[in-house]
Chains A and B, each alone.
Chain A
Amino acid sequence: GNSVTQMEGPVTLSEEAFLTINCTYTATGYPSLFWYVQYPGEGLQLLLKATKADDKGSNKGFEATYRKETTSFHLEKGSVQVSDSAVYFCAFHPGNMLTFGGGTRLMVKP
């Protein structure tokens, strides 16, 4: 069946460190892939997306590349900030609804 697996958190980093949050999916076909972010006390917001293989989504310094060969969509940022502390959800759209991973909490310390 369709599923999304992302690394469990929490991930704790110092400011300006490099971030990688792994995400892999299982699906038939090639669905669009998303990263959503949930800041403390707020609703989910779309961070970035990619709609086809080899596409790179980017926003606010975050990037993720749609890798068909490895069925992955890892989230990366070269230099995190304290304000990036949030929960990050990988998701995909295999049909008519979004399917989410379990979420990864990121804590960035000054």
Chain B
Amino acid sequence: GAVVSQHPSRVICKSGTSVKIECRSLDFQATTMFWYRQFPKKSLMLMATSNEGSKATYEQGVEKDKFLINHASLTLSTLTVTSAHPEDSSFYICSVPSGGDDAETQYFGPGTRLLVL
């Protein structure tokens, strides 16, 4: 199956700074990637759909100016948390749909744990 990587795996930053998280599809090209947020002991919440060559699609309630998404290439999407605050501390996960006849299955990255002090 596909391998999806994320970098960094863990980041601690000061309040007010910006943090960039990378998501890479290592096995195949992806025109679409998904970004999720997972709160402690909670399920994954879809934040946005990253689209190569066009603007990301954000879910209701997600601030697009706060969470900047750039789908730079067919193998790379980045999520930048701008002016981070402690309430942004969370586990951020990206995924890549498998495509083809099995488009509903997604391959997930290992996640990035963000802690904002």
A105 vs B6: C-alpha distance in the bound complex, in angstroms? Answer: 24
* Given A44-B93, A89-B43, A102-B42, A97-B34 contact (CB < 8 Å): yes
Q: Is A45 an interface residue (CB 8 A)?
A: yes
Helix, strand, loop or mixed for chain A's interface? strand
Interface SS majority for chain B:
strand
Chain A window 10-48, contacts with chain B (Cβ cutoff 8 Å), 1 for yes, 0 for no? 000000000000000000000010101000011111100
Cβ-defined contact, A103 with B34, below 8 A: no
Given the interface pairs A43-B110, A97-B34, the reply to whether A103 lies near B42 with Cβ below 8 Å is yes
Which size bracket describes the interface of B in this complex? Answer: 20 to 34
CB <8 Å contact, A102 and B43: yes
Q: A46 near B105 (CB under 8 angstroms)?
A: yes
Given contacts A32-B104, A42-B110, A43-B110, contact A100 B43 (CB under 8 A): yes
Contact call A97/B46, Cβ cutoff below 8 A = yes
- Which of A34, A45, A98 lies at the interface centre, i.e. has the most chain B CB atoms within 10 A of its CB? A98
* Distance in Å: Cβ of B2 to nearest Cβ of chain A: 11
Q: B1-33 vs A: 1/0 string, CB under 8 Å?
A: 100101000000000000000000000000000
- Inter-chain contacts of A105 with B (CB < 8 A): 41
B34 & A45 in contact (Cβ 8 Å cutoff): no
Assuming the contacts A89-B43, A103-B42, asked whether A97 and B49 have C-beta atoms less than 8 A apart, the reply is yes
A and B contact pairs by CB, cutoff 8 A, 10 listed? A34-B104, A43-B109, A44-B44, A46-B107, A49-B104, A89-B43, A93-B104, A97-B46, A98-B106, A102-B42
Residues of A in contact with B (beta carbons under 8 Å apart): 32, 34, 36, 41-46, 49, 89, 93, 97-98, 100-103, 105
CB-based closest 5 A-B pairs: A44-B108, A43-B110, A43-B108, A93-B104, A100-B43
